[in-house]
Amino acid sequence: MTPIPERRPDHLTLALPKGRIMDDAIALLSQAGLPLTRPEASRALRHEFPGVTVLELRNQDVPVYVDLGVADAGIVGKDVLLEAGRPVYEPVDLHFAECRLSLIREIGASGPVARVGTKYPRAARAYLEERGIPAEVVKLSGNIELAALTGLADAVIDLVQTGGTLRANHLEEVDVLFHSSARLIVNRAALKLRRERLRPLIARLRELTAPADSGLT
């Protein structure tokens, strides 16, 4: 196995997912004081800034890179983090990319759930076992809702944001497994080795994302 290259204690490597979350993450990290800008469209997957390297990854790979120490920290959805099961430190709920993971069926569907289609087999099995439902879990990708519409599965477990796709396909949420949003995650060793960079960043992100005080008593 190729060893992870040594990096200066004052240099941060961040793992960010491609797409909309990356745009929002860079905007927030810039507010927190990191010298980041949205990379220009290109095929580059690694982007260098003063004192910071950004790795552009698929969502599911962010917890892996952070856990194994290739990245010091990253930003990823809680749904992806729970599914990955990686022992990373999760110090800040960033309160964007909010959605929920739900059990979904056709409107009016009845009868037992014997098979569930999902991109999230770990979360699905935990949910079904907790409720004593002996259903088969089928891992899928792409348009998960189609599994419920074609009879491949009695129900699906998938992310819901606005519910528009469900309404357009005569589907409904039967139960919510959990609510998800973007989270800052940190490699536990890096929290010590790069504490002078990471701890102020964590503190600043907590300030920026703290719920606004309504002033009501």
Confidence (pLDDT) at 83: 95
**Please, which pLDDT band fits residue 216 given cuts at 50, 70 and 90?**
very low
pTM of the model: 0.87
Confidence (pLDDT) at 3: 42
pLDDT, one tens digit per residue, over 151-182 is 999 999 999 999 998 999 999 999 999 999 99
Q: Give the lowest-confidence range in 2-6, 126-130, 151-155, 204-208.
A: 2-6
Q: Is the pLDDT at 60 greater than 90, yes or no? A: yes
Q: What percent of the chain has pLDDT over 90?
A: 82
Tell me if 5 is assigned to some domain.
no
> Between 205 and 10, where is the model more confident?
205
Tell me if 2 is assigned to some domain.
no
Tell me if 194 is assigned to some domain.
yes
Confidence (pLDDT) at 6: 56
Same domain, residue pair 160 and 55: no
Same domain, residue pair 89 and 20: yes
> Between 101 and 1, where is the model more confident?
101
| Structural domain boundaries, residue 42 | 12-97+181-209
Same domain, residue pair 75 and 137: no
Q: Are 179 and 102 in contact (CB under 8 A)?
A: no
Same domain, residue pair 174 and 76: no
pLDDT, one tens digit per residue, over 114-133 is 999 999 999 999 999 999 99
Confidence (pLDDT) at 7: 63
Tell me if 6 is assigned to some domain.
no
Q: Is the pLDDT at 217 greater than 50, yes or no? A: no
pLDDT, one tens digit per residue, over 29-48 is 999 999 999 877 767 789 99
**CATH code: domain of residue 151:** 3.40.190.10
Cβ-based neighbours of 70, under 8 Å, separated by 6 or more:
4, 13, 15, 55
